[in-house]
Structure 1
Amino acid sequence: MRSDAKNMLLAPVATFAARRHWLRAALACWLGLSIFGWLPMASANNLEVGKPAPQLVLHTLDGRSIDSRDLKGKVVILTFWATWCGPCREELPLLSAYAARHAKQGLEVLGFSLDSPDDLAEVKKVAASLSFPVGLLGNPWAGDYGRIWHIPVNFTIDRDGVLVDNGWKDKEPVWTAERLERIVTPLLR
Structure 2
Amino acid sequence: MKITSWAIAIVLAPVILFAQSRTVRPSMDKRFNEYCTSNIFEGKSHKNERLPAFSLPTPDGRILRSADMKGKVLVLDFWATWCAPCRKLTAELDSSLKKYQERKDFQMIGMDYNETVVNKGLSPAAYWKEHKYGFPMTLNNNEYGKSLNAGNPTVIVVDKDGIMRGKWDAWTPHTAEEISVLVWALLEDPRITEADVNKAYEKKEYLKTIHLCDLFMATYPAETGKFAAIKYNARMKMSSKMEALTEVKFVLDTITDYKAFTNRLLGNDTISPSATRTQLFEELMKQAGQEKNYLIYELVAGNYYKAGNRKAAVENAEKALQIARQSGKNAGPMIEQIRSSLEEYRKE
Could you say which TM-score interval applies, normalised by the shorter chain? 0.5 to 0.7
Conserved in 1, the CA contact under 8 Å of 2:77 and 2:154? yes
Q: Which residue is 2:66 aligned to? A: 68
Q: Which residue is 1:162 aligned to? A: 163
RMSD over aligned Cα atoms: 3.1
Q: Which residue is 2:145 aligned to? A: 142
**In structure 1, what is the Cα distance between the partners aligned to 2:81 and 2:158?**
24
**In structure 1, what is the Cα distance between the partners aligned to 2:67 and 2:168?**
18
Aligned residues: 145
The two structures have a TM-score, normalised by structure 2, of 0.37
Conserved in 2, the CA contact under 8 Å of 1:157 and 1:163? yes
**In structure 1, what is the Cα distance between the partners aligned to 2:139 and 2:121?**
8
Give the counterpart letter for 1:178 in structure 2. Answer: E
Q: 2:79 aligns with which of 72, 81, 84?
A: 81
Structure 1 unaligned runs (5+)? 1-41
**In structure 2, what is the Cα distance between the partners aligned to 1:141 and 1:53?**
11
Deviates more, 1:70-79 or 1:127-136: 127-136
**In structure 1, what is the Cα distance between the partners aligned to 2:173 and 2:65?**
24
Give the counterpart letter for 2:108 in structure 1. Answer: V
Q: Percent identity?
A: 27
Which structure's residues are more often helix, by fraction? 2
Structure 2 unaligned runs (5+)? 1-40, 189-348
Q: 1:96 aligns with which of 86, 91, 94?
A: 94
Higher relative contact order, structure no. (Cα contacts within 8 Å, ≥ 6 residues apart): 1
Structure 1 residues 166, 93: closer, same or farther in 2, change over 3 A? Answer: closer
Give the counterpart letter for 2:59 in structure 1. Answer: L
**In structure 2, what is the Cα distance between the partners aligned to 1:157 and 1:173?**
21
Which structure's residues are more often strand, by fraction? 1
Q: Which deviations, in whole Å up to 9, do the C-alpha atoms of 1:3-46 show, x marking residues without a partner?
A: xxxxxxxxxxxxxxxxxxxxxxxxxxxxxxxxxxxxxxx4654x
Q: Which residue is 1:180 aligned to? A: 179
Shift of 1:61: 0.7
Q: Which residue is 2:153 aligned to? A: 152
Q: 1:54 aligns with which of 49, 52, 55?
A: 52
Deviates more, 1:136-145 or 1:103-112: 136-145
Q: Which residue is 1:112 aligned to? A: 111
**In structure 1, what is the Cα distance between the partners aligned to 2:89 and 2:97?**
12
Shift of 1:126: 2.0
Shift of 1:78: 0.8
The two structures have a TM-score, normalised by structure 1, of 0.63
Conserved in 1, the CA contact under 8 Å of 2:55 and 2:66? yes
Structure 1 residues 155, 120: closer, same or farther in 2, change over 3 A? Answer: farther
